[in-house]
Amino acid sequence: MEMEYNCPLCNGLITISERCPECGSLMEDWGRVQDYLDPYQPYLDISITASEERRDEKKCVHLYLCPRCGRDTRITVNQILGP
């Protein structure tokens, strides 16, 4: 059986508390950046370009948004081997 890499953040194993560099508010995890690269979800006007990170399957890139000032940032999570 083949082991797969799983993102601990997607699976709720860890939480990441990221502070907004602009206003210091706690930023919210909006999930994987990959989900927003889907052409059928064009509602978010965030400048995300396809990067090398996206092709690296051992990393999961999460989008964090500040609920107060709307600033966005990306957090790269190293995936872990799971069953």
Give the C-alpha distances (Å, rounded to integers) separating 20 from 9, 24, 59.
Answer: 19, 5, 22
Taking the complex as a whole, how short is the minimal distance between the CB of residue 1 and Zn ion, in angstroms? Answer: 22
Taking the complex as a whole, how short is the minimal distance between the CB of residue 57 and Zn ion, in angstroms? Answer: 12
Q: How many Cα atoms occupy the beta-carbon half-sphere of 23 within 13 Å?
A: 11
CA–CA gap between residue 44 and residue 41 (Å, rounded): 7
Told to check if 10 binds Zn ion by CB under 5 A, we report yes
Q: Hey, which residues between 15 and 74 contact Zn ion (CB under 5 A)? A: 20, 22-23, 25, 60, 66, 68-69, 71
Taking the complex as a whole, how short is the minimal distance between the CB of residue 43 and Zn ion, in angstroms? Answer: 21
CA dihedral 44, 14, 78, 75 (to 10 degrees): 30
Q: Which is nearer to Zn ion, 23 or 50 (CB)?
A: 23
Positions that interact with Zn ion (CB under 5 A): 7, 9-10, 20, 22-23, 25, 60, 66, 68-69, 71
